């Protein structure tokens, strides 16, 4: 368990694509095809064979397998469990929820890992492992269109949901009190195509889990949450209860996953990079991904080629700095796409800060230099957040924050701790005792948060 957690927490310094490759390697490979057993296995046989068969559904919050090694929240979770068993996870992607559940019941896989809600109906036919995430089912519509905020408004709304989903069970339950509610059921493995259809105006509303809605709205900001249809519900793996020993192995492992921080680390990786939903900011960002980023993307890619972070990180940082405006200038004299000071530009060999290509190259070189100067005790993604914060507030103030963290009994090598310490640099009780003095310590914290969010939104755009 410890090695998997360490892999997850170190992965983001290399970017999400490299991270998912790392976790796959840590779990012995994770093949894309599965051998179907002829009769129920035992846990001993699974270990002897070296293969755990995972049934799943394609979707941006579960399984992504377009190219290279598969990735996704469910992939990483399944690979971690397989690694604990000492086997590799083999993934079999089903086309729809009914087909997934039927395949599990037929013994064609050991576990169904696909963001399944543990409903009353499903619990009557399937065995479930302990819950690993809580979500809310939400009615999602399009800004400016029908968007009922009350239950009695559902009767006059064009609603489409996934066939065989928990959303159907929810609507059936609501129909008992509101008999005029109607909906159409569509086959599929993910609610994402229906969310995209709502955004495109092809249907009025759909129902989806809150974590997928949050993801979808970063790509389609015109989507609105009209109302919550349920309270919190549990996501859990279904498993083949005929496999001797699998029930206790899952119970023990999920208890460890909760206590060790594995689930928290996975949530942070896949869902924790979005801040509060800001329609104006997100809608503007999505527009500029289309009308500004294409001009500069190749230069971001070139600049990141030999660096320990990906081009999307540089692009996200540049957006936070200038909104990809090469003529941007601040009152303090920093300018250009990466908002370099004159002294920094000279230091990294940049002649013209307003030249986009030079600015990107210079900003990347400066961030790389800061990254190398971060103390050795700061590792994984914390090292990247530390370097970004130093880009914003200066390395001296970051060293001061580390000193203050030590003084206050906090972990100076943890970004989470430093994010709480940095704002204290504007308090005279503290900054007067530090070498570099006063700093607007809230700014680097917000700076890092926004860059992480923009990078995650770039990933959501499928650019």
Query: Active-site residue numbers?
Result: 321
Q: Rounded to a whole number, what is the distance in angstroms from the first to the last CA of the chain?
A: 34
């Amino acid at each position: 368990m410890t090695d998997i957690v360490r892999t997850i927490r170190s992965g983001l310094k290399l970017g999400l694509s490299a991270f998912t490759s790392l976790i796959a390697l840590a779990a012995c490979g994770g093949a894309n095809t599965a051998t179907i057993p002829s009769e129920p296995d035992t846990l001993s046989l699974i270990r002897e064979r070296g293969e755990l068969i995972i049934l799943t559904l394609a979707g941006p919050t579960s399984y992504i397998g377009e190219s290279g090694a598969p990735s996704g929240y469910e992939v990483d979770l399944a690979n971690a469990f397989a690694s604990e068993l000492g086997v590799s996870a083999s993934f079999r992607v089903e086309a729809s929820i009914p087909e997934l559940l039927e395949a599990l019941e037929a013994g064609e896989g050991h576990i169904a890992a696909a963001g399944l809600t543990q409903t009353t109906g499903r619990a009557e036919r399937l065995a479930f492992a302990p819950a690993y995430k809580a979500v809310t089912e939400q009615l999602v519509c399009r800004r400016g269109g029908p968007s009922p905020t009350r239950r009695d408004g559902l009767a006059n709304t064009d609603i489409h949901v996934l066939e065989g989903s928990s959303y159907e069970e929810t609507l059936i339950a609501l129909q008992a009190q509101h008999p005029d509610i109607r909906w159409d059921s569509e086959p599929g493995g993910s609610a994402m195509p229906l969310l995209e259809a709502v955004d495109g105006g092809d249907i009025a509303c759909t129902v989806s889990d809150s974590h997928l809605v949050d993801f979808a709205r970063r790509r389609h900001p015109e989507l609105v949450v009209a109302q919550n249809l349920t309270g919190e519900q549990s996501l859990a793996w279904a498993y083949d209860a005929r496999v001797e020993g699998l029930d206790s192995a899952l119970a023990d492992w999920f208890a460890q996953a909760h206590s060790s921080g594995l689930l928290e680390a996975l949530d942070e990786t896949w869902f924790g990079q979005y801040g509060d939903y800001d329609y104006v900011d997100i809608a503007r960002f999505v527009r500029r991904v289309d009308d500004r980023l294409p001009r500069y993307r190749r230069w971001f890619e070139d600049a990141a080629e030999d660096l320990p972070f990906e081009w999307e990180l540089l692009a996200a940082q540049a957006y936070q700095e200038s909104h990809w405006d090469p003529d941007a200038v601040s009152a303090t004299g920093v300018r250009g796409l990466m908002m370099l000071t004159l002294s920094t530009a000279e230091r990294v060999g940049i002649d013209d800060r307003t030249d986009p290509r030079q600015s990107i190259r210079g900003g990347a070189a400066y961030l790389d230099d800061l990254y190398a100067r971060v103390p050795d005790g700061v590792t994984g993604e914390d090292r990247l957040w530390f370097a970004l914060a130093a880009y914003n507030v200066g390395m001296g103030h970051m060293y001061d924050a580390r000193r203050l963290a030590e003084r206050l009994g906090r972990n100076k090598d943890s970004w989470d701790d430093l994010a709480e310490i940095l704002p204290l640099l504007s308090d005279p009780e503290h900054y007067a005792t530090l070498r570099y003095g006063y700093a607007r310590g809230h700014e680097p914290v917000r700076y890092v948060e926004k860059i992480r969010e923009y990078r995650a939104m770039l990933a959501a755009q499928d650019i």
